[in-house]
Every structure is written in structure tokens, then in C-alpha cells.
A and B are shown apart, each in its own frame.
Chain A
Amino acid sequence: MKRPVWTPAFLVLTAVLAAGCVKPTLYSWGQYEQLIYRSYAAPGAVPPEMQVEKLEADYQKARSENRPVPPGFHAHLGFLYFQLGKLDQAQQELETEKAQFPESAVFMDRLLSNLRKN
């Protein structure tokens, strides 16, 4: 009897090769860009509460995989908390962005100093 091609070993090899073709990304992207797109394309469809919930879930997933979230992620999350009037969480997220990416310091400091002015 002719041995079938689709043996488990063959499938594993194929999967490994296919995985090798996909370049690993520097960041765990989650839904960061899609959520911002949806918030522009259909405002109201993704209220800040929903965005916060999804981004916090993305962050937990990234942490569990020990991978960094992308530039701007924590700043955007802080911006959402600010919109919800949760200033302590907003402050914490802006400071996290600054700690993860020192390049953001000037902008984050500016936002932090404006945070409690209104």
C-alpha cells in the first residue's frame, strides 16, 4: 500500500516551514490600530469604555506572552481614560508610555501637566 503524503510528520514540517515564512513582529499589536480606525470610521460604534476594555485585554495578553505593546499604545489608553474622567488611570498610562518609550517624554509631560487643569 502506498504511504499517504499527509503523515503527521509531514504536517508538522509544513507548519514549521509556513511559520518560518511569517516574520516575527517587534510588538504585540492586538486591536490597537483596528480600534482607532473604527473610532474614526464609525464614531459611537466603539465608545471609549469598549476600547479600554479591548486594549486592557490586549495588554494582558501581551504581558502573558512577555511581548511589548506598540509605541503609542499606553498613551492612547491614557487618552481614553481621560475621556472617561478617570484621571488617575490616565496619568498612570501616560507615565507608562514615557517609561517604555523615552522618546515620548516631551509630549507625555505636556499631556500630564494639562491633565488636571480642566
Chain B
Amino acid sequence: MTGRALVGTIGWAAAGMLAAGCVTAQPYDYTNYRLHPPRSIVVLPPLNQSTAVEATYGYLTTVTRPLAERGYYVFPIAVVDQFLKENGLPSAGEMHQVPVEKLAEILGADAVLFVTIEQYGTKYMLIDSVTTVAARGRLVDTRTGLLLWEGRRVLQHSSSSGQSNLVAMAITAAVSQVVNTTTDAAHGLSPQLNVLLFHQKDRGLLYGPYHPRYDQPPE
């Protein structure tokens, strides 16, 4: 293939990917969000629908950064968690039942992010292991109770991704399993899931007041 032909091929491939991106990106309806733009977000410990008990805090401890870097004040997750526990709400399930107006009153939060973890953990197979995190989130205005935004994402990572050699795969699987049993691999994957969930163009959160692009359309 000549150099020019190669460039041409890459050009068409790029155009194809852009076109595909346009088809899938149905922009989110931000009407309520723009009418009630929050400055601050409180994230409650997520509801856990997975079988992994470590999911609640394994996920919760990755959520501050993507929201703060989007420009929002994010309430200190552990302090809020402890405060609510001391005030008669020992579990995430009970915290999610608190009327949002009450969260406005006691915390001064403009919006509350309710997260549900659908899947969380690592599945081990013969020569491979697959880590999955699936989560959905709802951002609710605490003054009006209106839904400002919602989204859902699934992210999977295979320990053998990118490997074609069977021996190399077997070794990788063995090593990954050792690593994965001592650390929480789904916790390690959660930051990437959050980027997909919160930062995606036309589907993610709008920029908050501490971001330089506040009041501009998301990129």
C-alpha cells in the first residue's frame, strides 16, 4: 500500500468512526438541569444490587473526583456517611429513603446523586478473569425534587484483553488472579466507569461552577 493510499484509508476510517459517533450520541435533555443548575452535590452511599458486599464503599470512594473535576462542590463522603449513621440511618437503603428536601435542610446540598450498583466484581474462568462494574445514577434537585439527570454504564475488563498467545494468556490469568484476590479489581475499574458515566459528551453531567467551562455546552 502506498503512503497516500494508507492516509486515505485512515481518513475514511476516521470519518466512519465520527459518523458512528453521531448516530449513537442522542443528546440528553438538559431542560431541568439548566433550570436548576446545582453548585453542590451530595453522593449517598450507593444501593448495592450486586453480590459483592465491598461494592458500596469500593464504588463510593471513587465518585468524588469525577464530580469535583466537573466543577461541583462534592460533600465529604465519609463525613456525610458517618453523620447520617449517627442520626439513625445505618444503611444506604435507609439513606436513600430520606426526602431530598431534608438533605437540603441538614446539609445545604443543591442536588443529591443516587447511585445503584448493578454489577461489581471479578469472575474467574479457566484462563481468564473478567471484571465488571455496572452502575446507574440519578441526580435530583433537592428544592423541587425534579430529576436533573440520569445515566447508566457498564464497563468490563478482561485480564487477557489484547493477548492472542495461549501461553501468555494462561500466565496473565494466573498473575491477574493473584493480584485480583488481594485487591478489589472492580474498585480499580470504577474511575474509568465514572468517566464514561459523568463526563461523556451530550450524555454526561453539565459543567459545574468551579469548572472553567461552566455555562458552556459540554464537549
A105 CB-CB contact with B under 8 Å: yes
Asked whether, in the complex, the Cβ of A37 is within 8 Å of the Cβ of B57, the reply is: yes
A window 47-80: CB within 8 A of B? 70-73, 75-76, 79
Smallest Cβ-Cβ distance to B187: which chain A residue = A37
Asked whether, in the complex, the Cβ of A33 is within 8 Å of the Cβ of B76, the reply is: no
Most chain B CB within a 10 A radius of its CB, from A41, A73, A103: A103
Q: By DSSP majority rule, is chain B's interface helix, strand, loop, or mixed?
A: mixed
B143 CB-CB contact with A under 8 Å: no
Q: By DSSP majority rule, is chain A's interface helix, strand, loop, or mixed?
A: helix
Q: CB-CB < 8 A to B110: which residues of A?
A: 103
Q: CB-CB < 8 A to A107: which residues of B?
A: 75, 80, 106-109
Asked whether, in the complex, the Cβ of B58 is within 8 Å of the Cβ of A41, the reply is: yes
Asked whether, in the complex, the Cβ of B65 is within 8 Å of the Cβ of A36, the reply is: no
Asked whether, in the complex, the Cβ of A71 is within 8 Å of the Cβ of B108, the reply is: no
Asked whether, in the complex, the Cβ of A33 is within 8 Å of the Cβ of B61, the reply is: yes
Q: CB-CB < 8 A to A26: which residues of B?
A: 68-69, 71, 210-211
Asked whether, in the complex, the Cβ of A33 is within 8 Å of the Cβ of B69, the reply is: no
Complex formed: what's the CA distance from A84 to B65 in Å?
26
B77 CB-CB contact with A under 8 Å: yes
How many chain B residues have a CB neighbour from A under 8 Å? 33
How many chain A residues have a CB neighbour from B under 8 Å? 27
Q: Give min CB distance, B61 to chain A, whole Å.
A: 4
Report which of A27, A37, A73 forms a contact with B58, defined as CB distance below 8 A: A37
Mask, A81-118, CB within 8 Å of B = 1, is 00000000000000001000101111100110000000
Q: CB-CB < 8 A to B72: which residues of A?
A: 71
A10 CB-CB contact with B under 8 Å: no
Complex formed: what's the CA distance from A25 to B65 in Å?
10
Mask, A11-30, CB within 8 Å of B = 1, is 00000000000000111010
Most chain A CB within a 10 A radius of its CB, from B40, B71, B72, B82: B40
Complex formed: what's the CA distance from A97 to B107 in Å?
14
B25 CB-CB contact with A under 8 Å: no
Report which of B57, B62, B74 forms a contact with A71, defined as CB distance below 8 A: B74
Question: Given A36-B77, A104-B73, A106-B107, are A72 and B54 neighbors across the interface (CB < 8 Å)?
Answer: no
Complex formed: what's the CA distance from A44 to B34 in Å?
44
Report which of A27, A40, A72, A106 forms a contact with B79, defined as CB distance below 8 A: A72
A interface list, Cβ under 8 A from B: 25-27, 29, 32-33, 36-37, 39-41, 70-73, 75-76, 79, 97, 101, 103-107, 110-111
